Amino acid sequence: MTKKQIFITSAFTENSVWRQILGICSALAVTNLMMNSLIMGLGVTFSLALSGFTISLIRNWTPRSVRMMVQTLIIAAYVIIVDIFLKANMPDISKQLGPYVGLIITNCILMGRAEAFASQNTPLDSMIDGIGAGVGYSLVLLLIGFIRELFGFGSIFGIKVLGAWWTPWSIMVMAPSAFFILAMLIWIINIKYYKSKG
C-alpha cells in the first residue's frame, strides 16, 4: 500500500468510530462543544501518530508476552505530554475535558491501531496510519459537536450563528442526544455501505 492509501483507509473506509465502533466513550462525552471536540481530536491524533511511530520502532525488540504493557506505557507517556500541554496552555479547556484527556489511554482506538497496524509495519507507515485514524476520529467528533453545539447553544466554535429568536434545545447539551446522534450517523453510514455493496 502507498502512503496515501494507508491514510485514506484508516481515516475513512475503515474509520474507527463508525466502522469499528471503537473509542466512542470520548466521542460522546466531549462533543457538546466544537472547541472541545477539536482539541480532543488533536490530542488523540498526536498520541496516535507518535505512539504508532514509537511502537513500530521497537516492535522487533518487544517480547510478545509483555507487548500490551509496553504499548500501554508508550501511549500513556504521550497522553501525559498532551495533558501537561493542555494544563499549561489552555487551562479552561483542560478543566472542561477533565478526566477525558487521561482516558485517551484506554481509548480502544489507540490499542487497536497499535495491535493491528503498528506492531507489524514500518515506523513511518504506522505514523501515517495513526494520523489517518486520528483525522477520521476528529472528523466524527467535529460532526457530532457541530450538531450538538448548533442546536444546544445556537453557536459554532462559541460564535453565535443563530439569533435571539432561537430557543436552545437543552436536550442537545445533555447525554442522551449524544447517543441518538451517533446512532443516526451509524445508520446513515450503514445505509450507504449496504447500497454500495448492492
Partner 1 sequence: MDISAFVLFWAAIFTSNILLTNFLGMCSYLSVSREVESSFGLGVAVIFVLTVTAGLNWLVYHLILVPYNIVYLQYIVFIIVIAAFVQFLELVIERYAPALYYTLGIFLPLITVNCAIFGVSLFLVIRNYSFLQSISFGAGSGIGWLLAILMLAAIRRKLKEKLVPQGLQGVGISLIITGIMALAFVGFSGIVQIQ
> Binders of partner 1: how many residues, by CB under 8 A?
42
Name the segment binding partner 1 (CB under 8 A); options: 132-140, 141-149, 153-161, 185-193.
185-193
Task: Supply 140's cell numbers.
Answer: 466524527
The residues in 79-118 that bind partner 1, with binding defined as CB under 8 A, are 79-80, 83-84, 98-99, 102-103, 105-108, 111
Q: Is 33 in the site for partner 1 (CB under 8 A)?
A: no
3-state secondary structure the chain: CCHHHHHHHHHHHCCCCCCCCCCHHHHHHCCCCHHHHHHHHHHHHHHHHHHHHHHHHCCCCCCHHHHHHHHHHHHHHHHHHHHHHHHHHCHHHHHHHCHHHHCCCCCHHHHHHHHHHHCCCCHHHHHHHHHHHHHHHHHHHHHHHHHHHHHHHCEECCEECCCCCCCCCHHHHCHHHHHHHHHHHHHHHHHHHHHHHC
Kindly tell me which of 9 and 96 has the beta carbon lying closer to partner 1.
96
Q: Is 6 in the site for partner 1 (CB under 8 A)?
A: no
The residues in 59-78 that bind partner 1, with binding defined as CB under 8 A, are 69, 72-73, 76-77
Question: Which of 22, 40, 50, 140 is the binder for partner 1 (CB under 8 A)?
Answer: 22
Name the segment binding partner 1 (CB under 8 A); options: 6-14, 58-66, 125-133, 180-188.
180-188
Residues engaged in binding partner 1 (CB under 8 A): 21-26, 28-29, 69, 72-73, 76-77, 79-80, 83-84, 98-99, 102-103, 105-108, 111, 174-180, 182-183, 186-188, 190-191, 193-194
